[in-house]
Amino acid sequence: MGDFSDMSPRASSALQPAATPPGAIRNFCIIAHIDHGKSTLADRMLQMTGVVSDRDMRAQYLDRMDIERERGITIKSQAVRMPWQVGGDTFALNMIDTPGHVDFSYEVSRSLAACEGAILLVDAAQGIEAQTLANLYLALENDLEIIPVLNKIDLPAADPDKYARELAQLIGGDPDDVLRVSGKTGMGVEDLLDRVVERIPAPVGDPDAAARAMIFDSVYDAYRGVVTYVRMIDGKLNPRERIQMMSSRATHEILEIGVSSPEPTPSKGLGIGEVGYLITGVKDVRQSKVGDTVTTASKPATEALSGYTDPLPMVFSGVYPIDASDYPDLREALDKLKLSDAALQYEPETSVALGFGFRCGFLGLLHLEIVTERLSREFDLDLITTAPSVPYDVTTEDRKTVTVTNPSEYPTGRIEKVVEPIVNASILAPKDYVGAIMELCQSRRGTMQSMEYLGEDRVELKYTLPLGEIVFDFFDQLKSNTKGYASLDYEPAGQGEADLVKVDILLQGETVDAFSAIVHRDKAYAYGTLMAERLRKLIPRQQFEVPIQAAIGARIIARETIRAMRKDVLAKCYGGDITRKRKLLEKQKEGKKRMKMVGRVEVPQEAFIAALSGDVETKKDK
């Protein structure tokens, strides 16, 4: 990594928080797709503005969690204040890092609402992706000034002319206005910082009004409790002041107020347009919710800032410890995760197949993946998750409607109607894959809304799709049908009625709850046969014949049979075999302890896990 200090017009002295005129403030974020180089660019800015010394520079400084760094994605946003000088005037630039994934679109929208402008960062070798388009759309909705930038222009595969035309076509303007930078080498980054000052409007607010600050992020820190990131709109917040959360009316005392640069630096307060953090000693992010308005307890504002909603889980899954004795640890781990993840919901659940666990609600599939990965990594838990489900509104014959997030709660008896969540999906891919994508979407009950060429060879397809179809391996299928080129974004688009049924899987007549699924009637047979066949391959033969059935209510739609085991004996057991034989027995006994009983049928936990993960079709039928 080079030394950038020579090329950096760093500000000779930084402006002090609480004493910075709004005209000298620029609040912006970076909109980019995973791995288009946002974090590298942010690092370079930190280094060029001098807030991180070259010596302390550590790759991707802003992404702190291990998972984030490994996956190259940003889950939690933060804000950094950087000084920058243009033509003798010093400015304070607040860079607000936004989560990059659709699961966190609410958090994205709040981060955007804290800014006046956005850098639209696109890989000069790949072009814009669906999630970036979605976030760009949100940014335009928030009236942000957009600065289009192509990154990674140092790459041999970069085609900046082509993608500059694509960007100009999308947002209007001249392809020559698209900046070209390399976060890696630092090329063009100074110009970009200058452009931020030049183009992004300064914040406006009423310094004399009651204080109002919008929470755009809330992070749990093991040592300090909840750190709340805010953007001041009106008035001022001061150290030791009592504040009030406008959604709950709860009041707290500010123990510390300051800005990140990028380490937390206490200040004498925060004035209008400024971005910083508050620490009040609360221990749970639910007491400091993203989107909420902070005001002072002594002179509370009368009207909260608009845009606050509670995060609503859209994907549900059972989470179970593989070793039943880990259940208390799982509970403790979830309790801890909850402190830093306001969107995570869970309640205890019991399953015949999987034992004790929790039914968890997530914002989306990535959120589910992140939570389960954190549980296994940070808390060292081995877990199994059931197939993701979405909330269905089921109306029974007696006109009662229940929301079903778990197939096992599906009402019995006659069903009047079932309503499922629908999403608008946008898929971007090279034009060669249009056929494959249309086929996939059609098989998932999608309806095409539009198809548009972006630039020369890329197409954006818009579909409405049932969310339930998307959560079930849609993304994997999309990726494999398009050699990994397609990108997907979706947003809720209300509900739709559909002919859905619950399919149960029965082992020797007993329902195995973890395998029940709510599926479209046309697919019930396929699901039933698939699961019955998987289980037949996975469950070891017992001393008796075991029927595996798939059923809708009382109607059997598929059947497989595990034939009775007739032979289980080692043919030879002489002097040299005895020790080995005994060790084998000990191992088998150990394995037997971990068997789950479904009626009289002994099922290894691994069989359930493999059947749920779908890791069966590739295995040979022994």
Residues found near other proteins in the complex (CB under 8 A): 543, 563, 565-576, 578-583, 585, 588-589, 592, 622
Residue 620 Cβ, how far from other proteins at the closest point, in Å? Answer: 10
- Measured CA to CA, the distance from residue 41 to residue 91 in angstroms comes to 19
**Of 204, 230, 227, residue with least CA distance to 216:** 230
Closer by beta carbon to other proteins, 59 or else 565 = 565
Cα separation of 529 and 159, whole Å?
Answer: 48
Residue 556 falls in which region: left (phi positive, over 0), alpha (psi -120 to 50) or beta: beta
In the bound state with other proteins, the residue whose beta carbon lies nearer, of 59 and 564, is: 564
Phi, psi of 348 (to 5 degrees): -60, 150
Q: Smallest distance from the beta carbon of 583 to other proteins, in angstroms?
A: 5
User: How does strand 117-123 pair with strand 25-32?
Assistant: parallel
Mapped onto helix, strand or coil, the DSSP state of residue 270 is strand
* Rounded least distance, CB 591 to other proteins, Å: 9
Q: How far is the CB of 584 from other proteins (least distance, A)?
A: 8
Question: Would you say 256 or 602 has its CB closer to other proteins?
Answer: 602
Helix, coil or strand: residue 483:
coil
Closer to other proteins by Cβ: residue 240 or 566? 566
Nearer to other proteins, 283 or 592 (CB): 592
Q: Which is nearer to other proteins, 350 or 588 (CB)?
A: 588
Instruction: Return the closest-CA partner of residue 273 out of 24, 84, 49.
Output: 24
Measured between alpha carbons, how far is 77 from 79 in angstroms, rounded to an integer?
A: 7
- Token pair, residue 224, equals 């300090």
SS3 91: strand
Question: How many Å from the N-terminal Cα to the C-terminal Cα in the chain?
Answer: 54
* Closest approach of other proteins to the CB of residue 363, in Å: 45
Token digits for 545?
Answer: 């014949």
Q: Give the separation between CA 86 and CA 289, rounded to whole angstroms.
A: 36
- We find the least distance from the C-beta atom of residue 565 to other proteins, in angstroms, to be 7
Is-contact 459 429, C-beta < 8 A? yes
Please state the closest distance from residue 618 (CB atom) to other proteins, in A.
16
Q: Which is nearer to other proteins, 223 or 574 (CB)?
A: 574
Question: CB-wise, 176 or 568, nearer to other proteins?
Answer: 568
- Please report how close the Cβ of residue 564 comes to other proteins at its closest, in angstroms: 9
565: closest CA among 596, 511, 601, 597?
A: 601
